[in-house]
A and B are shown apart, each in its own frame.
Chain A
């Protein structure tokens, strides 16, 4: 955990009029839990006492003070899910992962927790894994869910997934195509831009599949860096005027050939993107 990083998070949220909860949410997003040291820094930077911060952090189930595993499995034991067999599901998860609810597997892969109502009672029993909802869960589905989570729920199956489709983009200034036919990512021509951060300049290639986050880079870009992104042809700065609704970094604008614009967040690791087709 880096002190500067936490201070950054606090500053960023304070700038956007965020409260304690949004600060803690951001910390938890990055570290998957709330380190004690981080809470102390938050208290110090927000001029509040540590008990207040600690009180908020322990009040909400969504926050964890213990390190969590890579994947978070939340089994709903709310009233509706309870009568529909939630406890059986929870038990099965406990058995298969060989841990008790509220703990993490020794290999740090899974954290299992039970929650009270995830707001989808009609589809119960509900289980949420890494933010993905699974409905009508029963004993048999448990092992499949674990397997899927292990494989990675964020991985998309190109070709079969409806949410994924290729876009062709060009520079909004010179209208030159940014597509690079000589370099494929995800089996499609990639989008090539030049980037700079700090003293580093180089190229970055993005997957042209809308919804895929695959990239190739010349230099390793540390997570969380806000990049300056330029058109490789006219060297125009592609950063637009709007800010990312997720992380407040500037959004980068590109024209979609055939009409429309696509915006992606310039912060490495932030997955915010928008597509407006005309």
Chain B
């Protein structure tokens, strides 16, 4: 057993427990985006930052990937943490404002402005779908491709994968695409009615700028020629 202190409370956890699990065990809320029970932690979104004390210094770490250490002092809602979290949400808003999950996070954390260049990405590269496909479905139909600003998620060569079983799990876990159907104007979410089961990675090129993957969309009946 490892004992550590979270927000002033002593807690003993088993070796290998992450700070996130320990904090949640004590009932302290820590927001997450790229973390889901049942998938290995990945540390992509940085939203779960907490502050840990090391000697006379303190440091921000991602709690979903940081294992509990003996005698560690952790704070989950210090001023520094809150500030960092807000910036992260602001950056998420800058890249993917149409996501319901991100909008909810923004309102829950009282983020009222977005000072960066506005973009409308349809993917925040959190890797949830990749891990879901690999770890829950044992399929590995989709994965990361490219590097840097060209990094993307999809099937090899952008053709339907023959190991994909069309389970739709990738869409289920995706925090960016619950409101996929935004017609041709990304600022206006039109219907959001396409809870369809055709995984986005497959039909992507066809509907490119429309961010809609249904052919045709049953809700809005827009068909792209």
Contact = CB atoms under 8 A, between A and B. Distances in A.
Interface of A: 36, 39, 49-55, 58-60
B106 interface: no
Interface string B141-171: 1111111000000011100010100000000
Given A39-B156, A54-B157, A49 B140 contact: yes
B147 A59 contact: yes
Contacts of A51: 140-143, 155-156, 161
A83 to B, nearest CB: 21
Interface in B156-192: 156-157, 161, 163
Interface in B64-117: none
Contacts of B157: 36, 54
A52 B142 CA distance: 9
Contacts of A53: 156
A54 B151 CA distance: 12
Query: Which one of B141, B143, B163 has the greatest number of beta carbons of chain A within 10 Å?
Result: B143
For chain B, the bracket of interface size reads: 10 to 19
A50 B157 CA distance: 10
A54 B147 contact: no
16 contacts: A36-B157, A39-B156, A50-B163, A51-B140, A51-B141, A51-B142, A51-B155, A54-B156, A54-B157, A55-B145, A58-B145, A58-B146, A58-B147, A59-B145, A59-B147, A60-B147
Given A51-B156, A52-B143, A58-B147, 13 more contacts: A49-B140, A49-B163, A50-B140, A50-B161, A50-B163, A51-B141, A51-B143, A52-B140, A54-B143, A54-B156, A55-B145, A59-B145, A59-B146
A35 to B, nearest CB: 11
Contacts of B146: 58-59
B139 to A, nearest CB: 8
Interface string B7-34: 0000000000000000000000000000
Contacts of B143: 49, 51-52, 54-55
Contacts of A50: 140, 156, 161, 163
B113 to A, nearest CB: 33
Contacts of A36: 157
B95 to A, nearest CB: 21
In the A-B complex, list the 3 residue pairs whose CB atoms are closest, starting with the nearest. Answer: A51-B143, A54-B156, A49-B140
A52 B161 CA distance: 13
Contacts of B142: 51
Nearest to A51: B143
A64 to B, nearest CB: 13
Contacts of A54: 143, 145, 156-157
B104 to A, nearest CB: 31
Nearest to B156: A54
Nearest to B139: A49
A258 B155 CA distance: 61
Nearest to B133: A51
B140 A55 contact: no
Contacts of A39: 156
Nearest to A40: B156
